[in-house]
Each structure stands twice: as C-alpha cells, then as structure tokens.
Amino acid sequence: MKKIERDKAIFLSDIEANQEYYQHNSLCSCSVCRNFYAQISGKYQELEDFLLEFGVDIVRPDELVWTEAEETIDYIAMYTVKGDVLFLEEKEFLVGEQNIMVDETVNFPNEQVSPCFGITVFSISLPWVLDKSLPHSQKKRWRLLKGIKRS
C-alpha cells in the first residue's frame, strides 16, 4: 500500500490491485463513453496526475454520467480505488479546476473488494469528436446523485 498525502487528506492505495483491476474489466461500448475515452487522456493533466498517484487510469472510470450541453458533453466520472481513507477533512476539494468528491462508501458497479473508496470527478466537458452523431436514443439527462454538490 502506498501512502498518499494531500493538503487535508491521507489515503492508502494498493496501486498494483488498482492496475490489475483494469486488466479484467472491459470498457463500455456506447458512443458517449467512447467519446470520453477518445479524448480524456492529457485533457485535464492535474486530474490525470492525481488519479495516477492512486494507480487509477483516467480513461477507465467505473461509471460515467453525462448530459448533452450546447457544444459539449458534460460528464461526471466515478472511479474506484482499492485502498483506504485514513484522514479526510473535507469530502470535496479541487484538483486543478475539477471538483472532486471522495466517498468512503462506494456504490458504483465495480469488481473491487473492500477496503475501497470512490473518487467522483465533476465538470468534465468534452466536445463531440466521433465521426457519427450522438444517437437520439442516447440523449439522456443527469441522474440525481444524492448528497453530491456541484460548484
């Protein structure tokens, strides 16, 4: 386990378990998720570096929630970290320009086993870059996530 210290937080992360987790889980094949996968790497470097500290791949969230905005798709990305939260003064904080929430009780669909915690990233806006247009059947809206505040 690697100890990771932030301003007002201390975490333990099993980096090897997190990296192995991605080898056994496939990505969603829907066009909105593929749009995210195609361009998220390198787009938010501070966020990507933060997640890499935990052994988490920014391209492989456990869950993506999205809505279509005027010229972008706005995403909330949820990641699972095999590890533990030792100290957390505030559940929400900024990493670069991204609002992050750490959840010690993970509810997303995943294969990780306890102990683990969730990192939810808000306000990821990406343009539509795929060749085909967004299918009408996939034009859904945000699901309400109880207790999550957006800034």
Cβ-based burial of 118 (10 A; exposed 0-12, middle 13-18, buried ≥19): buried
**Residues 93, 111: contact at Cβ < 8 Å?**
no
Predicted confidence (pLDDT) per residue in 5-14, tens digit: 988 899 999 9
Predicted confidence (pLDDT) per residue in 93-125, tens digit: 999 889 999 988 776 556 666 788 999 999 899
Which two structure tokens, joined as six digits, stand for 38?
């195609």
End-to-end C-alpha distance for the chain, whole angstroms? 32
**Residues 44, 96: contact at Cβ < 8 Å?**
yes
Percent of the chain with pLDDT over 90: 56
Task: Assign 147 a pLDDT band (cuts: 50, 70, 90).
Answer: very low
DSSP 15-43: HHHHHHHHHT-PPP-SHHHHHHHHH-TTT
